Each structure stands twice: as C-alpha cells, then as structure tokens.
Amino acid sequence: MKTISVKTEGGHYQILIGHGIIGQLGRKCKGLKLGRQVVIVADESVGKLYAESISKVLVSEGFEVTTVISLGGENNKNLDGLEPIYGHLITSGVDRTGWILALGGGIIGDMAGFVAASYLRGIRYIHVPTTIVAQVDSSIGGKTGVNHSLGKNLIGAFYQPQLVFMDTDLLRSLPEGEIKAGLAEVVKHALIRDPELFEFLEIEIENVIKMQITPSQLDWLIERNAKIKVEIVSTDERESGLRAILNYGHTIGHAIEATTNYKKYRHGEAVILGALAVAHISASRGLMSARERLRHDSLWERLGIPKGLKDVDSREIFLRTRNDKKRVDGVVRYILAEAVGKVSIYDDVSEKNVIDAIRYVKETY
C-alpha cells in the first residue's frame, strides 16, 4: 500500500493507494480514533456493488454502521439532494463524534463532504473514491459542495477529510464511458505537469481504457496522478495561483456543459473538447510547435471525441465562458499549453480567439 501525506492549511491527512486493500479499511479507520457511529453515503449503483462489503469490514472493527443511498447524477447534486442525507443523520441520532464515509464518485464525494462540513457545524469524514475522476481529482483538495439552479458547484466549503482510501480494484467495475471521462483528467495532469506520464499514456491509453493493465500499473497511474493533484493543492489550497492550471481545458469545457444544460456531455467529455479548443488558441498564437500540438491532439483524440458540438452555438459557448468562476477581477484566465508538461496562465485571450477555436473544433471533429 502506498501512502501520500497531504498537508494543507485546512488539515493534514493521508491518501492510501493499493489494490485489494479494502479489507484493511476498518483497521485504518480505527487508527484515526473516529467515533463509533458511521454513515456510509453512496449512490444506487455503488451502494449495490460495495456498501455491504464495506459495512462488514467496519462492523468487524466495532463500528456501528448505517447506509444512506442518495440519488446519483448531476441533477441531484443540489441542496434538495442533501435533504435525505441530513435526515438520515438526524434520525439515526448521529452526534458530533459520528462520521461519514463517502463511497462513490465525485458527485457523492462532493455531496457527502459538504454534509460533513455543515451537519452539526462539521463532523469528520473519509473518502473511499470509486471512479477515476474521484481517485485522481475530486477526493483530493477538500472542495465539497453542490450545484445551484443558476450554476454548477456554486454552494460549498473547503473541508478536508480525515483519510482518502483508494482501492484501485474498485475501478475495474467502471463502465468504459466513465473510464474515459476519468482519463480526461489524467491526460490533463500529464499535459500540465508530467511528460513521463504523457509518454506512458501515448503507449498505453487503449489498454487503460479497456482496463487491460496490471493491478500494479493501475496503482502507479493513480498514485502518480494523485501526487500531481496533492502537490498543486498543497501549495495553493484556495486557488489563488498555481491551482488555476488544473483548469486546463475546463473554461471552454464548463461553458460547453452549461450551454448544453449538463445533459449532452459528461464533464470529462466536455474537457476533451475544451482541451482541443485551447490547443488551437495556443498554436494560433505561436506558443506551441506543430509537433507538440500533434502529440497533444492525438492523445485527446484517442480518448474519443464526443459528437454533436456542431449543433451547439459557438457564441453562446463563448458567452458562458465569461461566467467562469475562476475569473480574477472579471477577467477570464486561460491556461495555454506551450509543450507537453508546460502550461502558462494568460489573461488576454480575446472573444475572437475563443470563437475561432470552438469553430475549429466543430469543423475538425
């Protein structure tokens, strides 16, 4: 089992990574001196697959476990969706020593983490992330929260878990679409920070998509990505500088998701389109060589280009980019790639740059 220690202003905790380690979860939780009462929060699919076995592992260490099943999906990630979770905690008499185990992908992690941050003004929680998105991205960094009808992730809190426990075997039940969506964040990490990881993906990406890699290779992949996220969020917990580079491909990606009402594309799919668009901006400014752009675009293409952008209005996507949550003093900042492993932040990307780039992606794919 590999351990990554995370130190942020908001707290210190460990990320444990390995395959076939779920049986050790109870013992690790016991070591954290958590209270006896624990509530597992999962969505229907993950609940069916893993809640019972995880509950047994915790019960065998003397924990008192109940499970609450939350509706999955982005449409349920809102304040109303939290109501049954708060209700379960209240009716089960969970007090301040009780804790939450968030079992699932990014949606359950964000929701259960926010409940932990707010129930009785804060109880402890741990993450057992079950998607690639959650293992390499959302379970690390302490961002919790839900959507509002006027925008995504607008309500939330920075709230660090006590432990993030990643059994990579759990990823093997993921449908291919979710694997690809998660790999979009992996390709992003490689591109912004890790040329060696990029080279690995250039050789292996189809095998990763099919999960035809060994347990040790999968552990390596998750650990490498988790370390990149940890390194960035530990330096910049509240997103004042470096953390912005994690937004690569996301400004246009989020705008595409919003323009299509979060129904047409998974988040990761929209990021693929966003990454191809920003590479066009980089190349047209002469920031990225033709060779590097070819490497960039080819790897994203191998993840599969989602269809249907042609039917989405380019100007509306542009207008939505102006609502980017990460703008500074009203200016939308773009992360542009100069080469594999090297990106910079630009605050002078024009309307024409963005619309041309979206049109390029529509015409090319």
- Judge whether 121 counts as a catalytic residue: yes
Q: Would residue 250 show up in a list of annotated catalytic residues for this protein?
A: yes
Q: Which residue is nearest to ligand NAD (CB)?
A: 106
- Which residue out of 127, 189, 254, 280 is catalytically annotated? 254
Considering only 167, 178, 237, 297, the residue that binds ligand NAD (CB under 6 A) is: 178
Give the residue among 263, 252, 268, 267 at the shortest CA–CA distance from 323.
252
Contacts of 69 (CB under 8 A, 6+ apart): 42, 43, 44, 47, 51
Task: State which of residues 133, 166, 179, 281 lies at the interface with ligand NAD (CB under 6 A).
Answer: 133
* CB contact set of 314 (below 8 Å; sequence gap of 6+): 355, 358, 359, 362
The residue written with tokens 């995370």 in the block is 6
**185 a catalytic residue:** yes
Output the CA angle 173-175-179, nearest 5 degrees. Answer: 95
Does position 17 bind ligand NAD by CB under 6 A?
A: no
With CB under 6 A as the contact rule, the residue among 8, 55, 76, 138 that binds ligand NAD is 138
Q: Is-catalytic flag, 143?
A: yes
List the catalytic residue out of 77, 180, 189, 229: 229
Among the listed residues 64, 204, 231, 239, the single catalytic one is 239
What track of x and - describes contact with ligand NAD for positions 246 through 285 (by CB under 6 A)?
Answer: ---------------------x------------------
CA-nearest of 46, 54, 90 to 70 is: 46
Check if the beta carbon of residue 205 is closer than 8 Å to that of residue 303.
yes
Report the relative pairing of strands 37-43 and 64-70 from DSSP bridges: parallel
Q: Judged by CB under 6 A, does residue 47 bind ligand NAD?
A: no
The question of whether 12 is a catalytic residue gets the answer no
**Residue 247 annotated in active site:** yes
Residue 219 burial (10 A CB sphere; 0-12, 13-18, 19+): buried
| Interaction of residue 173 with ligand NAD, rule CB under 6 A | yes
Catalytic residue among 178, 185, 223, 257: 185
Q: Which residue number, 98 or 106, has a Cβ lying nearer to ligand NAD?
A: 106
- The answer for residues whose C-beta is within 8 angstroms of residue 42's C-beta and 6 or more apart is 50, 51, 67, 68, 69, 70, 103, 104, 108
CB-based contact 58:25 (threshold 8 Å): yes
Among 18, 105, 161, 274, which residue sits at the site for ligand NAD (rule: CB under 6 A)? 105
By beta-carbon proximity to ligand NAD, the closer residue of 141 and 274 is 141
Verify whether residue 206 is a known catalytic residue.
no
Please confirm, yes or no, whether 243 is among the known catalytic residues.
yes
239 is catalytic: yes
| 64's tokens | 């008192």
Q: Which is nearer to ligand NAD, 26 or 104 (CB)?
A: 104
Q: Which residues bind ligand NAD (CB under 6 A)?
A: 43, 45-46, 49, 72, 74, 77, 104-108, 110, 130-131, 133-134, 137-138, 141, 143, 153, 170-171, 173-174, 178, 181, 267
Catalytic residues: 121, 143, 185, 229, 239, 243, 247, 250, 254, 267
